[in-house]
Amino acid sequence: MPPKQETNQRKMFIGQAASPGYVIAKTKLIVRQKVVVSQYKISREGTASQIDFFRKGIMQVKREISNLRDITLQAVSKKDSEIFDSHLMILQDPLLIDGVISLIRDERWNAGYAFHLKMQSLIENFENSEGILKERAQDLKDIYNRTLLCLNSSESDFALQEEIEEGGAVLTGFSIGPNMLMNFDKGKVLGLAIDSGSVTSHVSILARSMQIPAVMGLGNLSESIKSNDLLILDGTNGIVIVNPDENDINKYKKQIEVFQNQKLELFTMRDLEPITMDGKYIRLNANIERYEEASEITSFGASGVGLYRSEFLYFGRNALPTRKEQADAYSKVVNQLDPLPVTIRTLDAGGDKMLSLVNAEVESNPFMGWRSIRLCLDRKDIFRTQMKALIEAGSRGNLKIMFPMISSIGELEKAKEIYEECCAELRAEGLSITKVELGAMIEIPSAVIIIEEIAKRVDFLSIGTNDLIQFTLAVDRSNGKIASLYEPHHPAVLRSIKLVVEAAHKEGIPVSVCGEMAADPLSTLLLVGLGVDELSMSSWCIMECKKIIRSVNYDEARAISTEVLGFSDAGSINSFLKKKYSQKIKNLGISSFIIAQDFTTSDRALIKIDDEIQRIGS
């Protein structure tokens, strides 16, 4: 490991923009206490006392986490306090508890080492997964560290952390979990700059809810910084500048003022309609993962739910959710938002969302494996249970059901047949059935090629651009080595979107886009011009998107998008779009579009080492 730099050299780091905002502040470097694992054999007579010691240790950790949950509930929100509920569920998991007790009783290991063996196996399984499961490995590490310190009869490393000085600081370190974050005074945490993690990690979710700017995945920042160093944290663009010069500070002081004004101004957009200057209405919906989020989306100006990811109802459980549990969860969203539309995607397990209760086998290529509608059509017991729950929840008439990863007419027809069969069975039970709209998610090139046939058989279409881009370009979006090839504005992607729009409108049905592309300013304008009827995104992006839509002329956007379709490469398209729209977006003060030309050429010469964008020299 290289020694830390002791000079005040200006350095810039590029990571993942996890929570928007800007901070100029001193740092507090978090160096976690090293956890020492004691390893020794115990006598047969000593197993009972070690098991008792283990159970008491687990109870102590559960009390600590319950206290953090209560603090989060009071200081942040109920939704965010539920992060700690998932931690408690892990500590209550019979597979974990019984597994540790078995190692103590049968192998006669001491409690701390038995817990270490069991947890390390779980952590390795999560770290070897992709996507959200990989991110949740940090939660397991938090639990591992806290519990081991307790079992080693030590004070918690979290309790040993120094207080943040008056005036606050940006927390920096290799990893900072929700447990650690919530132990600090919320008012003193000005930002987060973390070497590991991503925008989907729990600490990122907490940061966004607490409105703390955050940048994740910074690589080796913590090795090149010390406490009380001055830094600029740009959570909007994923930039951290250590020991900034006077020019940096002046520029960001102005940006902070602009950002604060933007936040106030954006809330004036909440109750305005997303209509272009010449009268074209674009519905803006929210993406949600849990039913608790439904209460928040209208406060951000959403017109409904464009994507409810139902698979998250299945995670963190010892058994599959029952029909009643699902119907209750879906009904809460549908009823609370009535008459606004709610689109619920059927179970989309597999890929980067492995479901341990179902996805037992490890696949070499899970993104193209047994997942989504393929899994559901094979496991009809799971699919029928969910379908009946959805039909029950649709009694108010504002529910839409969407089938993911449709690749053929056969798959679509089988899914619709199961829906009709479930309706008939529920009628036989005496339930009154309200017709719900059925739609297909277009994520695979084969679906684009047969889109006219698909459009004839559904009530709406939704383009999942995250997977459509990945499959069209043969680019794994989680692979850092080829991340630059993941290009939303590739001509093949844009022409595919246009084909889907034309097929939908030919049949008189709406088409939406629900991938990350929907919330990008340039892409928003491009999608509007391509004729997309609805955009679905994270709630906090809606007001910004609404402001963009209200600033453009639909006919002009159509003309620009039509011209874009004639370009042969993504670079030319991006240059053309920036030429057409960058000044307009900059004039609007859109915070997520701070143009790269604000930095020097040397600043933008990123050095890619071992899959990560790392240090940039001054």
CATH number of the domain encompassing residue 62: 1.10.274.10
Classify residue 555: in a domain, yes or no.
yes
**Tens of pLDDT along 456-511?**
999 999 999 988 998 999 987 655 567 678 899 999 999 999 999 999 999 999 99
The 3-state DSSP composition of the chain as helix, strand, coil percent (nearest 5) reads 50, 15, 35
104 and 165, same structural domain?
no
348 and 430, same structural domain?
yes
Residue 231 DSSP one-character state:
E
In this prediction, residue 196 carries a pLDDT of 77
- Are 406 and 441 spatial neighbours (Cβ–Cβ below 8 Å)? yes
pLDDT(5) > 50: no
DSSP result, 201-212:
SHHHHHHHHHT-
Classify residue 432: in a domain, yes or no.
yes
* CA nearest to 610, candidates 480, 437, 496: 480
Distance of alpha carbon 47 from alpha carbon 457, whole angstroms: 64
* 342 token code pair: 């709610």
132 and 111, same structural domain?
yes
336 and 368, same structural domain?
yes
**Which CA distances in Å does 166 have to 30, 31, 146, 189, 213?**
17, 20, 27, 10, 19
Distance of alpha carbon 594 from alpha carbon 551, whole angstroms: 18
pLDDT(313) > 70: yes
Residues 319-323, mean pLDDT to the nearest whole number:
90
- Name the helix (H) or strand (E) containing 386: helix 380-393
Domain of 340 in residue numbering reads as 273-566
In this prediction, residue 236 carries a pLDDT of 83
- As beta bridge partners, residue 13 has 240
* 268 token code pair: 């004036």
In this prediction, residue 34 carries a pLDDT of 54
* Angle, helices 137-151/78-91, rounded to nearest 10 degrees: 60
Verify whether residue 514 is a known catalytic residue. Answer: yes
C-beta atoms surrounding 364 within 10 Å: 6
550 and 402, same structural domain?
yes
Distance of alpha carbon 76 from alpha carbon 74, whole angstroms: 6
Verify whether residue 202 is a known catalytic residue. Answer: yes
Classify residue 374: in a domain, yes or no.
yes
277 and 233, same structural domain?
no
* 244 token code pair: 């900034």
606 and 465, same structural domain?
no
Distance of alpha carbon 330 from alpha carbon 174, whole angstroms: 38
Classify residue 36: in a domain, yes or no.
no
Spot the catalytic one: 376, 422, 423, 514: 514
186 and 134, same structural domain?
no
Q: What is the CATH number of the domain that holds 402?
A: 3.20.20.60
- Decide which of 197 and 514 is more confident: 514
In this prediction, residue 381 carries a pLDDT of 94
10: three-class secondary structure by DSSP: coil
Distance of alpha carbon 406 from alpha carbon 348, whole angstroms: 11
Query: CA angle at residue 311 from 612 to 477, to 5 degrees?
Result: 25
Residues in the chain: 618
Mark which of 108, 128, 151 sits at the end of a domain.
151
18: three-class secondary structure by DSSP: strand
109: three-class secondary structure by DSSP: strand
Distance of alpha carbon 162 from alpha carbon 171, whole angstroms: 12
Residues 350-364, mean pLDDT to the nearest whole number:
56
Classify residue 613: in a domain, yes or no.
yes
* 522 token code pair: 């340039």
Distance of alpha carbon 291 from alpha carbon 332, whole angstroms: 7
* 470 token code pair: 């990945």
Residues 296-312, mean pLDDT to the nearest whole number:
89
| Long-range pairs of 99-107 with CB within 8 A, sequence gap ≥ 24 | 100/54, 101/51, 101/54, 104/42, 104/47, 104/50, 104/51, 104/54, 105/47, 105/51
616 and 528, same structural domain?
no
In this prediction, residue 601 carries a pLDDT of 25
Q: How many domains does the chain have?
A: 3
Distance of alpha carbon 464 from alpha carbon 445, whole angstroms: 11
| Highest mean predicted confidence (pLDDT) among 108-122, 199-213, 318-332, 553-567 | 553-567
Max Cα distance, the chain (Å)? 83
Least confident of 9-23, 317-331, 470-484: 470-484
Least confident of 150-159, 257-266, 284-293, 574-583: 150-159
- As beta bridge partners, residue 534 has 283, 512
- Decide which of 55 and 155 is more confident: 55
**Tens of pLDDT along 340-351?**
999 999 998 765
Query: In terms of DSSP bridges, do strands 399-403 and 612-613 run parallel, antiparallel, or are they unpaired?
Result: unpaired
**Tens of pLDDT along 90-112?**
888 888 888 899 999 999 999 88
**Which CA distances in Å does 285 have to 288, 519, 552?**
10, 11, 19
Mark which of 151, 186, 203 sits at the end of a domain.
151
Classify residue 459: in a domain, yes or no.
yes
In this prediction, residue 40 carries a pLDDT of 86
- Decide which of 390 and 592 is more confident: 390
422 and 317, same structural domain?
yes
292: three-class secondary structure by DSSP: helix
Our separate counts of H helices and E strands in the chain read 22, 18
601 and 530, same structural domain?
no
* 293 token code pair: 């989020």
| Confidence band, pLDDT 50/70/90 cuts, at residue 79 | low
In this prediction, residue 566 carries a pLDDT of 96
| Confidence band, pLDDT 50/70/90 cuts, at residue 216 | confident
* CA nearest to 310, candidates 345, 284, 258, 353: 345
* 465 token code pair: 């651009």
Distance of alpha carbon 171 from alpha carbon 495, whole angstroms: 44
pTM to 2 decimal places: 0.65
Distance of alpha carbon 505 from alpha carbon 451, whole angstroms: 12
Mark which of 105, 123, 151 sits at the end of a domain.
151
Distance of alpha carbon 66 from alpha carbon 61, whole angstroms: 8
Classify residue 263: in a domain, yes or no.
no
* 434 token code pair: 């309200």
| Long-range pairs of 112-121 with CB within 8 A, sequence gap ≥ 24 | 112/37, 112/38, 112/148, 112/151, 112/152, 113/37, 113/38, 113/39, 113/40, 114/54, 115/54, 115/144, 115/147, 115/148, 115/151, 116/37, 116/39, 116/144, 116/148, 119/143, 119/144, 119/147, 120/144
| Confidence band, pLDDT 50/70/90 cuts, at residue 271 | confident
516 and 400, same structural domain?
yes
- Decide which of 250 and 133 is more confident: 250
Spot the catalytic one: 202, 376, 489, 541: 202
Q: What is the CATH number of the domain that holds 614?
A: 3.50.30.10
* 269 token code pair: 């957009």
Classify residue 578: in a domain, yes or no.
no
